[in-house]
């Protein structure tokens, strides 16, 4: 487990949820090869959907760009080892 070595770059999540995000990422890195970003992201998304309800999105990689709208209190962007992790819950349309 590596959650103590994660560096949060930006977040509006509650601290407890941030800790869960980093723990899920660490667990995924234990389960999957570091180059299998799709499986790592899928593992984290599934865990967040089960724990906090459906609608979560997860992007994992070392170089990516994105633009999105998220629900308040559901966003985190952090680095663990050589990978960056972006986790958020999509905002509902009015």
CATH of the domain at 38: 3.30.740.10
Tell me whether residue 43 is in a domain.
Answer: yes
Tell me whether residue 2 is in a domain.
Answer: no
Q: Measure the CA–CA gap between 89 and 2, rounded to whole angstroms.
A: 24
- pLDDT tens digit sequence for 21-55: 999 999 999 999 999 999 999 999 999 999 999 99
- Report residue 71's pLDDT band, with 50, 70 and 90 as the boundaries: confident
Q: Does pLDDT of 94 surpass 80?
A: no
- Global pTM? 0.89
Tell me whether residue 85 is in a domain.
Answer: yes
Tell me whether residue 55 is in a domain.
Answer: yes
- Report the number of distinct structural domains present in the chain: 1
Domain residues for 52?
7-90
Tell me whether residue 56 is in a domain.
Answer: yes
Tell me whether residue 59 is in a domain.
Answer: yes
Tell me whether residue 60 is in a domain.
Answer: yes
Tell me whether residue 1 is in a domain.
Answer: no
């Amino acid at each position: 487990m590596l959650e103590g070595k994660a560096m949060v770059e930006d977040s509006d999540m509650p601290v407890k949820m941030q800790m869960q995000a980093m723990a899920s990422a660490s667990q995924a890195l234990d389960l999957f090869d570091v180059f299998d970003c799709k499986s790592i992201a899928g593992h984290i998304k599934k865990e967040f959907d089960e724990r906090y309800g459906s609608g979560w999105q997860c992007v994992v990689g070392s170089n990516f760009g994105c633009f999105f709208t998220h629900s308040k209190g559901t966003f985190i962007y952090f680095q663990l080892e050589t990978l960056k992790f972006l986790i958020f819950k999509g905002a509902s349309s009015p």
